Amino acid sequence: MTEAVNSPVSINLDLCEGCRKCLNACPTDVFGFNEKTQKAYLAYPSDCSVCFLCIGDCPTGAIKVDFAITSVRKHSAYAEYDPDQLVLDPSTL
Amino acid sequence: MDQIDADVLIIGGGFGGIWAALRAAELVDNVVLLEKAYVSRSGASTISGGVTTCPLDNDDLSKWAAEFVTKGGYMCDQDWTAQLLEGQRERVKQLAGWGVPISRNDKGEIRRFASRGMIDVRCMQYSPKKSMEELRKQAIARGVRIIDRISVTDLLTTDGEYPTKGAVCGAFGFNTRSGECIAVKAKQTVLATGAMSMKGQHQIDNVVCDGVVMAYRAGARLVDLEFSFGGTFSLLMSKYTFGSYNVAIAHGAKLINAEGERFMAKYDPVRYERGELARVVAAFAKEMIDGRGPVYVDMRDVDQSYWDDLKVVQQSKGASILLSDRIPDPKVSPLAIEPTWGLWNGGRSGLMIDLKCRSSLPGLLAAGVAAKITATGTHASAGVPTAFSMTSGYCAGEAAAEMALSMQQPRMPDDLVAMLTERVRAPLARPVGKVSADRLHDSLTMLESSVVETMPLTAPRLKKMIEQTDQASMTADRAGAADVHDLVKLHEARNIAECARLVYLSALDRTESREQFYREDFPETDDEEWFCWHGLMNTANGPSFDRQRIPFEKFPLQPPRKRPRHLSPIAAIMRGSFDPKAYD
Ligand SMILES: Cc1cc2nc3c(=O)[nH]c(=O)nc-3n(C[C@H](O)[C@H](O)[C@H](O)COP(=O)(O)OP(=O)(O)OC[C@H]3O[C@@H](n4cnc5c(N)ncnc54)[C@H](O)[C@@H]3O)c2cc1C
């Protein structure tokens, strides 16, 4: 079972072995620990800032973090551009 | 409620804090470090791009210093420039001695490359995360008591007043999970809480403005806050984090506009995209305004060592977008890139410190980029923020310990801790209300916008921004916290609002433009009025500004004769009149 809320981070609970390393790894306390199941869970997933520190520390690969954050807090100068324009066709150069 | 005494207290455990702790613990017994997250899994230091200034034994550091001072517009404390370079030479040796991974050539020598914008100054690529892991280990081995997950909210003062007429004597905070409060009374306190920033910008959302604002409230003198506007080319295809721009351009990455033109040729035909960062950012904005956007990063000619190093970085960092299948192959297609621009001081502003890292307040020192890096003036160097953090940390730890050795434990008013406990925890007793901590952070980031809009500042715009920060502060003061996690974010929001207000006030006070600081309504650089450090202090009558003359008579390098008022480089770029020869 994969637990994912509208956030870049998810945990595959089948892979989680309850080592608690992610609890130290995350600077913003995204992870909590469920004493009953002895597994990590996403306590505050919307606070993930995509630093990938948990990925390096999770020994079983149970945590996934997506590269993109869609956040009102990021201001792109390309908001009005067509996504196709964000890649330049090298043959035109 | 935990109450402990320390000889030296360190707040924040990035490079600044951990080096301070490590050095202090070599000299005194009782060193405590309070960290909001977990030392070695927190802070810009851990996740930084891995470029740091790399002076080695045979380098003529006076040449390096001269390059920093001239590139920094002579707005430097040149004694600090020398101390930084000599200190960093030792720090590099220590890191190498502990076996921290550093990129090396076939002969096993440290592989160095020219620092952005520089001819003589050299950088290296190393693993910041492994360095932090090693430093944590070394600090603990020397007896440092690290207490993780403490969000420090206030400095303690000997008279219980803010601003104080006495001294700083420790700090107060709470555990970010249990909410339990802690007060550490200390002979000397080193503030090392990192950059001023907002959430959602730089992948380190727990590093905001806490420390600088705490120090301001207590009465420490800050400098050059208007230079807190900053940023770098960090956003790829409008939503991905690029990784290190500095490393990429050092290895041959170029910026081109939609017409395929390497537009930096117009501004810096020698260094191109390796020129002064703010000018490259301004050139980007100009391309966009003139309809030649998007701007792309062209990595087709980047050398192999870059891609090899990137694999190593990816292993220690967990991921790199450039090696993922989420984007078209950057070795084949140029991809749209853009800089962020906003509250991100990176050491260009902060607490004013002397060579021993002492702030203007007795009992308080600062290390890392919570302090102003006076070593490099207006130059935004690739590699210096980490180098300065390490060496200022080392110096601060040493000075704090030496002062602590000849002191008694200070006293503070009996009711101070009870008063702070009540105030800090008060939001937990209030209903969350309409504006949660998260929404407050959303609205704070809305104070700023994309670089094209945020870079040019004007008085009306700044006044409006100041009004908005006042509103945000009022909302934060009334808001409730759903739980302890929310309480952390609420205090952060309150600090960001106050810090942004101070930055915008400083920007309004500075009636000129200089390097990265650009006032559209005062486009000229005015050495007569503004060749100085711009101080700011909390007084009984509110914020008070001063201008401190730079004491050239004691420095080796004298600035050339004062130039008459002239368009600042960014103003010239924006007006399309930039002549590279006039701004070298
Ligand atoms: C993505 C990125 C890449 C970068 N790349 C480079 C690079 O390649 N080269 C370079 O030289 N510089 C780089 N920088 C800048 C550089 O990393 C920082 O300027 C430097 O590491 C700052 O060190 P520091 O010790 O001052 O702060 P930090 O390393 O940020 O440490 C501050 C610590 O204080 C803690 N803290 C904050 N508030 C509180 C509080 N209220 N209570 C308790 N603890 C608190 C934080 O949790 C954190 O651990 C980069 C920055 C970023 C964000």
Taking the alpha carbons at both ends of chain B, their separation in whole angstroms is 57
User: Are B422 and B172 in contact, with CB atoms under 8 Å apart?
Assistant: no
Query: Which of A73, A77, A90 minimises the CB distance to B288?
Result: A77
Residue B123 per-residue DSSP state: E
The two tokens of residue B370 are 């919570």
Residue A15 lies in a domain: yes
> Is the CB of residue A93 less than 8 Å away from at least one CB of chain B?
yes
Backbone φ and ψ of B216, nearest 5°: -60, -45
Pick from B457, B464, B460, B453: which is nearest to B501 by CA? B464
CB B285 within 8 A of CB B451: yes
Give the integer Cα–Cα distance in Å for B17 and B10. Answer: 6
Q: Is residue A84 part of a domain?
A: no
Closest in A29, A68, A74 to B176, CB measured: A29
Tokens of B272: 């191109």
List domains and CATH numbers for chain B: 231-341 (3.90.700.10)
pLDDT at A1 over 50: no
pLDDT tens per residue, range B326-382: 999 999 999 999 999 999 988 899 999 999 999 999 999 999 999 999 999 888 788
Domain residue limits at A12:
2-66
Strands, E assignment, chain A: 2-4, 9-12, 31-34, 39-42, 63-65
Residue B368 near residue B43, CB atoms below 8 Å: no
Strands B168-175 and B254-256, sheet pairing: unpaired
Q: Report pLDDT digits (tens) over B18-59.
A: 999 999 999 999 999 999 999 999 999 999 988 999 999 999
Query: How many separate domains does chain A show?
Result: 1
CB atoms within 10 A of CB B241: 21
Tell me what the mean pLDDT of segment B62-67 comes to. 96
Coil, strand, or helix at residue B432? coil
> Average pLDDT, whole number, for chain B?
95
How far apart, in Å, are the Cα atoms of B459 and each of B464, B468, B502, B519, B521?
Answer: 9, 14, 15, 8, 7
Tell me whether residue B58 is exposed, middle or buried, using C-beta atoms within 10 angstroms of its C-beta: 0 to 12, 13 to 18, 19 or more. exposed
Say whether pLDDT at B583 is over 90.
Answer: no
Q: Which of B10, B36, B123, B372 for a ligand 1 pocket mutation test, highest count of atoms within 8 Å of Cβ? A: B36
Best probe residue, ligand 1, of B40, B207, B208 (max atoms within 8 Å of C-beta): B207
What DSSP string runs through B84-104? HHHHHHHHHHHHHHTT--B-B
| Domain containing residue A23: CATH number | 3.30.70.20
| Residue reference for tokens 């020397």 | B142
**What is the rounded CA–CA span in Å between residue B278 and residue B572?**
13
Residue A62 falls inside a structural domain = yes
Element (H, E) at B469: helix B459-478
**pLDDT the model gives residue A6:** 63
A33 is a domain residue: yes
CA–CA gap between residue B171 and residue B153 (Å, rounded): 8
Other Cβ atoms less than 10 A from the Cβ of B131: the count is 27
Residue A79, domain member (yes or no): no
Instruction: Give the Cα separation of B441 and B35 in Å (integer).
Output: 22
Instruction: Provide the β-strand partners of residue B570.
Output: none
Contact B327, B335 (CB under 8 A): yes
Least confident of B409-413, B467-471, B578-582: B578-582
Torsions phi, psi for B16 (to 5 deg): -60, -55
Residue A47 lies in a domain: yes
Among residues B450, B499, B491, B465, which one has the least CA distance to residue B196? B499
Q: How far apart are CA B499 and CA B197, in angstroms?
A: 9
In whole angstroms, give the CA distance from residue B6 to residue B440.
Answer: 36
User: Would you tell me how many other CB atoms lie within 10 Å of the CB of residue B209?
Assistant: 28
Q: Is B210 in the pocket of ligand 1 (CB under 6 A)?
A: yes
Q: For residue A4, what pLDDT band results from cuts at 50, 70 and 90?
A: very low
Query: pLDDT above 90 covers what percent of chain B?
Result: 87
Q: Look up tokens 């916008």; give the residue.
A: B449
For tokens 């100041």, the residue is B466
Rounded to whole angstroms, the Cα distance separating B506 from B522 reads 14
For the whole model, what pTM was predicted? 0.96
**Are B485 and A44 an interchain contact pair (Cβ–Cβ within 8 Å)?**
yes
Q: What is the CA radius of gyration of chain A?
A: 17
Strand partners, B189: B9, B364
Contact at CB, A57 and B41, closer than 8 angstroms: yes
- 8 Å CB contact of B321 and A67: yes
Is ligand 1 within 6 A of the CB of residue B243?
A: no
- B125-129, B258-262, B503-507: the lowest-pLDDT one: B125-129
Nearest to B186 by CA among B469, B386, B395, B412: B412
Alpha helices in B122-189 (DSSP H): 128-141
Q: Are strands B2-11 and A63-65 parallel, antiparallel or unpaired?
A: unpaired
Which residue has better confidence, A66 or B297? B297
**pLDDT tier for residue B83 given thresholds of 50, 70 and 90:** very high
In a domain, A76, yes or no: no
In a domain? residue A75: no
Q: Which of residues 205-244 of B touch A (CB under 8 A)?
A: 205-206, 235, 237-241
